[in-house]
A = this chain, B = another copy of it.
């Protein structure tokens, strides 16, 4: 492929099979979310620059695609708009804009592309689809449970063979910091380091914690409590005496109980070492992992103050996000053939039979079949049968002088090569019966 015809760096063209697979997956997800009473929201691809900047930290701001002013202002080299970087800042803007016109609570999902000027790499794109659901306006753990279950059901409905959910609460982590007497000013940094427990050896994490100023004994005790086979029991007993920690445990246990009937046992587990990198979470947090896949394929949690920080109203909020691009790469591929397969290919044996070919294709479509007529220039049957075969057609219809005289059409089964003469008026019924 000559470089000048590539899509821009970090973006992709989706030809037939990929585009169909993606559309099908989005349709499955929409249907699950809808059954949970989440409603769709679509916002523009771009927002005013001031709506986006300052919301993603300094590093995030650098990754925002900015749009040049137009007309006489273009020469200024300034930007006034920018492509959306995620679906959460637009949600905060919508919550601010429509306020009481929105239902309360506002349960919405959004599926759409976002753009980040990241360095492209394996599995990392500059244009990729995000798939979020969120509930604004409810502080109830029932809202967390719905977000968790809807995400689980979507993954199950997509046919993902194996995945599991790690569940924790930010309050459990706060309780741990209190129980292990971590000085308040070190808390945020300690959590950032503890977040590496799934990638680094415990010793490496301990030494990084010490580097952050944590006493050597404390660092080791904390890491030991959070890792190993009996981590859950040790964390449970460590947290009991502390009110925040105990509330966090209660939150986790309530959630586990709420989802017990819907998420199969063994697929969800309290995981004390789960931190979630982002600091805005305030309650339950979770990640979905799949065997052999680095990182997570989904995540979620409660973030009670973020919408306000992003410019929206002060509202409790919870939600989950599916890593659809990763999930799509895990689903079975349709096979080597990138292009759509026809059900019925219709030959055109001579110009004079074009009208009949056209009507035969319409009859096949009327029977719900994907059908196309031959659009090439050859009148040779062999050539047209090769085309039908290349299109993956299940049947090929042949209509020439003999058929025209007999008022029939020849239906060729492309697998067996068997040919059957069918009355023209009965073609739709005949195909529908096969």
Contacts and interface: CB of A to CB of B under 8 A. Distances in A.
A65 B68 CA distance: 7
A19 B30 CA distance: 12
Given A67-B66, A103-B390, A138-B376, A14 B42 contact: yes
Contacts of A23: 30, 40
A62 interface: yes
B35 A365 contact: yes
11 contacts: A2-B96, A5-B311, A22-B42, A27-B27, A35-B369, A36-B365, A45-B127, A104-B376, A143-B375, A261-B362, A262-B359
Given A34-B340, A37-B372, A358-B142, A44 B12 contact: yes
A14 B111 CA distance: 13
A354 interface: yes
Contacts of A258: 354-355, 358
Interface in A1-21: 1-2, 5-8, 11-16, 19-20
Interface string A251-265: 000100111111000
Nearest to A64: B70
Interface string A195-222: 0000000000000000000000000000
Contacts of A329: none
Contacts of A138: 375-376
Q: Which of A44, A340, A375 counts the most chain B CB atoms within 10 A?
A: A375
Given A77-B78, A105-B375, A142-B358, A41 B14 contact: yes
A9 to B, nearest CB: 9
Given A14-B42, A37-B340, A375 B135 contact: yes
Q: Interface SS of chain A: helix, strand, loop or mixed?
A: mixed
A274 interface: no
A230 B397 CA distance: 41
A117 interface: yes
Contacts of A342: 37
A79 B79 CA distance: 10
Interface in A111-150: 113, 115, 117, 127, 135, 137-143, 145-146, 149
A434 interface: no
A40 B16 contact: yes
A242 interface: no
Nearest to A22: B42
